[in-house]
Chains A and B, each alone.
Chain A
């Protein structure tokens, strides 16, 4: 068994998912199977292999790309009204949430 009930509860806490007891068991089973499959990555020798976080184009001869930095200039961004209109509970210019001070 790769993953315990306690592991699932710990991950659910990190992910802010209030799982039901049945869901905890479902995901324990599913994650266990998936992680067992993923173990096949341990077959490979990855010594001296750099991690790839993003596709880079330098590996192909004919293309090259550099993250383009734009000028740092102020631009108007009057989006407060449409953004707040989509909120479940807004009191312009704020989003309202349950009280957090006591926590």
Chain B
């Protein structure tokens, strides 16, 4: 690997404007980096140089004409492989979509394109975004660039690893139960889950429709704000996208955090939390207090029920959403003598083990005789978890917790039993169920050098505040080091 510049969105912009590099040369530099490291890290499943260079040439033409640059002009971006990209293979990390080429762009992708971004390719992920380690990908696991014998987290493991390894300036991930925040924590980069409805889900291949969100992973918090600004906002193609104006995130993150009330729920600091993670997050809270934030102890009493709730609701929705993969309209078809046999063989061979486990669980929870006991009960508990957040935000401006109970674990460490893997989602699924925005921002490192993320939750549509606090921590850490 050659010595590389740590590009950010503003530094790309400045270099292009000063004509120190062209957008095409920059894309080429990133493909060179990918060439050097992708066989080791397995971050990208598909590269899209044709589209990337066409986008780069468009930006270079704007520069040549002396016109003003769009906000993400020339920024090399990676896109998680569950998000549709016109003409670029989109596998969802599954064999069932191995050769699927979407005929359209997701709204978030279309907006990045309009903002001048350059799409390097599609990043590896757990199959249909189901997993917390990237080991459920049909195309092999991603390795954590910080510690290659460890997982990058999941399900947006490829996106987080690509950004952390300098193989993209920014990436889109998706977060259903922690899939942006947890890999952000494991790889040491900021990862933002926006409010449910802030970013259109049109073109996001559905896992659990009431929980799925698209958001950015970037090398720094200001870049996350810049990507969110580009992709957020109402979309007539997604009726759950909110018709609420998009805030000026760049302005909001610059405001001082002095006087903000930071809620620290003791329920997130109990048994199972790694002592080094606890110490790191505590030191992060102390830095925020040093900036004038007021620490407020909190109780969020339904936290302990969030995983059980999440794994009923998410799998129920998944069992319904994944019914579409039947070998008829797209993707894999395994021939069968009858239509039913074709469905059964296509699905059993096309889906991986974890996806089948979740389809089975969700189907069970929705089936006659179990619906009230599991699905309806979980929906009622979801209300209680939402109330925990609502009541907390009457007392505090933001909630600060660890993102994950441990740093990145070893490859293979949790693969033998799905439940063990699910329990690692304990701090992230709560906010997913409540639909509030949350970010994981690098806090510090363990003695072994593994990144630890701090999670910041805000009230619905307060992405600006969440980013502001994350930015303050990032800057305080920078000046402390």
State whether A98 touches B337 (Cβ < 8 A): yes
Contacts of B234 in A (CB 8 A): 68
- Chain B count of residues within 8 A CB distance of the other chain: 76
Complex: how many Å from CA A29 to CA B348? 18
Supposing A15-B363, A49-B380, A52-B382 touch, asked if A98 and B338 sit within 8 A by C-beta, the answer is yes
Chain A proximity mask over B327-359: 1 for CB below 8 Å, otherwise 0: 111111101111111111101100101001101
State whether B103 touches A83 (Cβ < 8 A): yes
State whether B330 touches A55 (Cβ < 8 A): no
Chain B proximity mask over A63-89: 1 for CB below 8 Å, otherwise 0: 101011010000000010011011111
Q: Could you tell me the distance in whole angstroms from the C-beta of A30 to the nearest C-beta in chain B?
A: 5
State whether A16 touches B311 (Cβ < 8 A): no
Q: Which of A27, A55, A86, A103 has the most CB of B within 10 A?
A: A55
Contacts of A86 in B (CB 8 A): 100-101, 103, 329-331
State whether A98 touches B384 (Cβ < 8 A): no
B379, CB-defined interface residue at 8 Å? yes
Chain A proximity mask over B97-108: 1 for CB below 8 Å, otherwise 0: 000110100000
Nearest CB in chain B to that of A13: its residue: B344
B30, CB-defined interface residue at 8 Å? no
Q: Which of B100, B244, B361 has the most CB of A within 10 A?
A: B361
Instruction: Identify B374's interface contact among A38, A44, A67, CB under 8 A.
Output: A38
State whether B331 touches A88 (Cβ < 8 A): yes
Instruction: Identify B340's interface contact among A16, A53, A95, CB under 8 A.
Output: A16
State whether A97 touches B342 (Cβ < 8 A): yes
Chain B proximity mask over A35-76: 1 for CB below 8 Å, otherwise 0: 101101111101001111111010110110101101000000
Please provide the chain B residues from 369 to 423 with a CB less than 8 Å away from any CB of chain A in the complex.
Answer: 374, 376-384, 386, 390, 393, 417-419, 422
Nearest CB in chain A to that of B99: its residue: A86
State whether A31 touches B390 (Cβ < 8 A): no
Nearest CB in chain B to that of A90: its residue: B329
State whether A34 touches B363 (Cβ < 8 A): no
B7, CB-defined interface residue at 8 Å? no
Supposing A30-B357, A38-B374, A41-B377 touch, asked if A55 and B197 sit within 8 A by C-beta, the answer is yes
B319, CB-defined interface residue at 8 Å? yes
Supposing A38-B308, A59-B390 touch, asked if A53 and B417 sit within 8 A by C-beta, the answer is no
State whether A27 touches B357 (Cβ < 8 A): yes
Q: Could you tell me the distance in whole angstroms from the C-beta of B310 to the nearest C-beta in chain A?
A: 10
State whether A103 touches B339 (Cβ < 8 A): yes
State whether B344 touches A18 (Cβ < 8 A): yes
State whether B367 touches A44 (Cβ < 8 A): no
Q: Could you tell me the distance in whole angstroms from the C-beta of A91 to the nearest C-beta in chain B?
A: 13
Supposing A67-B239, A68-B239, A98-B338 touch, asked if A49 and B308 sit within 8 A by C-beta, the answer is no
Complex: how many Å from CA A33 to CA B308? 12
A interface residue numbers (CB < 8 A to B): 3, 7-8, 10-12, 14-20, 23, 26-27, 30-31, 33-35, 37-38, 40-44, 46, 49-55, 57, 59-60, 62-63, 65, 67-68, 70, 79, 82-83, 85-89, 95, 97-100, 103
Known: A19-B356, A68-B234, A100-B338. 10 other contacts (CB 8 A): A16-B344, A17-B347, A17-B359, A31-B364, A33-B419, A34-B361, A40-B308, A83-B103, A86-B100, A98-B342
